[in-house]
Structure 1
Amino acid sequence: MSELSVIEICAGAGGQALGLELAGFEHELAVELDPTAVATLQLNRPHWKVAEGDVASLDVFDPKAYAPESRPGGRPIDLLAGGVPCPPFSIAGKQLGADDERDLFAWAVEQVDVLKPRALLLENVRGLSMPRFAGYRQHVLDRLRQFGYTGEWRLIQASDYGVPQLRPRFVLIAMREDDFQYFHWPEPTGQAKTVGETLLPLMAARGWEGAEEWAEQAHDIAPTIVGGSKKHGGADLGPTRAKRAWAELGVDAYGVHDTAPPYKTRPMTEFGPKLTVEMVARLQGWLLIRNPEHAAEIETDPPEGHEYAWWFAGGKTAVYRQIGNAFPPPVAKALGLSIARALRHEGEPAARDISFADPIYRVLREHETFLTAAQIARKAGIELEDHEVDERMTLLGKDFEILKEERSSGLAYKLGKFRAFTGQDDHARHDYYRKNLSRIS
């Protein structure tokens, strides 16, 4: 048994869970909404406690039951981790942020004050790193600071940790200062293999004579693999731009095939072969996918040293969706190892400059009176024209209530309440989940 414990929310099919386990964390609880992903977790780790349902429902997950005062010896959980829903921040979506009923990021941060874990790890899409969400990010850092934690954001590239895919993820790490001073972001492990190098053994497994030539064409890492949602149908490798990138690698991105080429039925298109779900898994960092429903077609016993072997429950589309929506296990392992070293106070303390995500938000938060654009810019210590401050206020207004007052010198602003779901009993999220639970992914 590991000496480090973790509670994982929005665990999905286990990409982050497997990586954290390999880094030395033992799951006390994993919570997941999708029943097929829950089946995958239970298939791989039957000894884990896995809760199925909406993580924000006390019937599914009661954070107080895992708070230090409820645990033997009063020892806190070492790590609260999760990959909360991405659509509120996705560049491909409407970027509704706090106004999106699926947003759980702010709620997850609030649980830190209840669970009091030694560390927090939350990951999401690159969209959360953009200026649109500067105020949201600062609110998160400020709340963590109120709870006694120091937090830091970092955009992580999966290809830096051996994953042959263009998959940026925006990561938040937070700890109490006595631990956080020992935290160092993981160093890149080297250049990732190309799609061709990664998938050649699988492409050639059924004797396709064109496999070597195909691998030479597939000489780059993959575009970001997207799992899609229950709402939008079957397995597909992404939007139009992604399909063009796949075509340049010699991959037909219009669907996923059951087997490697040559094909018995439909001929290969001019784009090239389609990927199988096992190939997609390899591009996510799982070195071997083992699906009991197709055990006769693929290896059932992983070669020695293949630490990322994983079974998947469900049919082809469900398996593809689980893989495509996952956090790559090698990236989770790298982050987990860095967190574990910090919690053990290994290495030298890190010198870091904690900068503010949004100085304008900070000014509004620190002053409870109305401020004009000129006053805000001056107090924030930045040079901005009035219209630029007005534009920033419009962005903030998407996640916060912004009160306005007319003055002779122009509009004055005051910060109102945060719009996001943080656990409110009367929030619109509850009604949305009751009506749409089977379609949410």
Structure 2
Amino acid sequence: MKDSPNSVPRVAGRVWHDHAVGTRGVAISLFSGAGGLDLGAQRAGYEVRAAVEWDRDAAATMEKNFPHLVAPVIQSDILTVSTEEILTAAGLGTGERPDLLIGGPPCTPFSKSGFWLDWKRDGLDPTASLLQEYTRVLREAKPRRFVLENVYALTYNNKASKPAFERLMREIDEAGYHCAWKVLFAADYGVPQARPRLFVVGAPKSEPVPTHPEPTHGGKWESTLTGKLDRPHVTAGEVLENLVTEPEPSEIVGGKYGHLLKDIPPGDNYLFYTENRGHPNPQFKWRGKYWSFLLKLSPDRPSPTIQAQPGPYIGPFHWDNRRLRVPELKRLFTFPDNFEFVGTRNSVQAQIGNSVPPLLAERVIGALTRVSAAY
């Protein structure tokens, strides 16, 4: 399907250009990771001038791809980094404030996959306090608008998430901002991946209440219709078509279950080998594994959520019965082909898997900026 002249261009293979950088002002970035939110901010017209990221490889990735950083990435635990240090790194003087604050505090305490642990459900994970580091910088830096991204399980009504989410909303209000929150399905915004994420967008109380972008795409995922149904979701097959990649040493799936992958149809998983499906030689019990176990991509649908630290049999795997290669991961996240990651293969997987898809970030920040600009 071709795009119309006025639509957003296809992201497959898009080279990253800085044509709009700086037109909307200065952004500062917390918990930056490899820079998925930052790429979206740049594309929406901001100049990312300062970033805080403790992981060495992710910080190096940021420095390699973001030439507008005034100083090197602040590679420290944010608990030890003052707001003044961040503003100074951005080249902002006394009394100056950033135009945009972005960040995605680590989601470990509220990840859906972690709620089987009693101590996480009880809200005892010490990293939960990192949300307060975000609101601390929000309160002290006084940006003109902000975007906070996190796992959608933060909105769950349980002992871990509910108090943390209520406290987050209260601290945003006390900092002088009103906000809107919404769980967005990445595929509804042109990302070839079914990835639900929470986005909290905010602006000073003197401005209009911010809004989230309207979906640009839609379709069926599992049993639910989502998004704008007159423009189909972008599929894995579309973005990986004609992509030339080199084999990777670790792409072969071996071990106890690797040989089973070749017979699983694209889009299916370990359930193919169950008695319920009528398999003549069942290998697994019905719903005895995670959904992503031996999960294979379908070229006709968006990719399922890609994880940062998948186990040896956790997909999605390529329909060619192997692990996804780095250039393919970049396409499925909407990172540009010329974006360079630093680190080992496992480190790169973690950086990409922890990222906000840049196209989704661009749409969220663009919508927030349009509301503020119209005021």
Q: TM-score, normalised by structure 1?
A: 0.59
What is the match of residue 364 of structure 1?
none
- SS of the residue corresponding to residue 29 of structure 2 reads strand
Given that residues 91 and 127 in structure 1 are in contact (C-alpha distance below 8 angstroms), is that contact kept between their aligned partners in structure 2? yes
What is the match of residue 242 of structure 2?
201
Given that residues 186 and 335 in structure 1 are in contact (C-alpha distance below 8 angstroms), is that contact kept between their aligned partners in structure 2? yes
Out of 116, 124, 133, which is 2:150 matched to? 124
C-alpha distance in 2 between matches for 1:186 and 1:142? 24
What is the match of residue 169 of structure 2?
141
What is the match of residue 34 of structure 2?
13
- SS of the residue corresponding to residue 8 of structure 1 reads strand
Out of 196, 216, 226, which is 1:189 matched to? 216
Given that residues 235 and 302 in structure 2 are in contact (C-alpha distance below 8 angstroms), is that contact kept between their aligned partners in structure 1? yes
Given that residues 26 and 48 in structure 2 are in contact (C-alpha distance below 8 angstroms), is that contact kept between their aligned partners in structure 1? yes
C-alpha distance in 1 between matches for 2:140 and 2:87? 9
Percent identity (aligned) = 30
1:101 aligns with 2:126: yes
What is the identity, as a one-letter code, of the residue corresponding to 2:301? D
- SS of the residue corresponding to residue 206 of structure 2 reads helix
Aligned residues: CA RMSD = 2.8
Shift of 1:64: 6.8
What is the identity, as a one-letter code, of the residue corresponding to 1:202? L
Shift of 1:160: 1.1
Given that residues 35 and 52 in structure 1 are in contact (C-alpha distance below 8 angstroms), is that contact kept between their aligned partners in structure 2? yes
Distance 1:203 1:148, change over 3 A: same
Given that residues 162 and 285 in structure 1 are in contact (C-alpha distance below 8 angstroms), is that contact kept between their aligned partners in structure 2? no
Who wins on radius of gyration, i.e. which is larger? 1
Distance 1:148 1:47, change over 3 A: closer
Shift of 1:124: 0.7
- SS of the residue corresponding to residue 344 of structure 1 reads helix
C-alpha distance in 2 between matches for 1:28 and 1:45? 9
Shift of 1:184: 2.4
What is the match of residue 342 of structure 1?
371
Given that residues 184 and 338 in structure 1 are in contact (C-alpha distance below 8 angstroms), is that contact kept between their aligned partners in structure 2? yes
Given that residues 196 and 214 in structure 1 are in contact (C-alpha distance below 8 angstroms), is that contact kept between their aligned partners in structure 2? no
What is the match of residue 313 of structure 1?
342
Unaligned stretches of 5+ residues in structure 1? 207-212, 229-235, 252-271, 289-308, 347-441
C-alpha distance in 1 between matches for 2:246 and 2:34? 26
Distance 1:146 1:110, change over 3 A: same
C-alpha distance in 2 between matches for 1:283 and 1:110? 34
Runs of 4 or more off by more than 6 Å in structure 1?
Answer: 203-206, 213-216
Shift of 1:75: 3.5
Higher helix share: 1
C-alpha distance in 1 between matches for 2:348 and 2:166? 36
- SS of the residue corresponding to residue 215 of structure 2 reads coil
Shift of 1:179: 2.2
1:223 aligns with 2:304: yes
Distance 1:17 1:131, change over 3 A: same
Distance 1:317 1:64, change over 3 A: closer
Shift of 1:239: 8.2
- SS of the residue corresponding to residue 374 of structure 2 reads coil
Shift of 1:112: 1.8
Give the total of aligned pairs.
283
What is the identity, as a one-letter code, of the residue corresponding to 1:325? N
Q: TM-score, normalised by structure 2?
A: 0.68
Distance 1:214 1:99, change over 3 A: closer
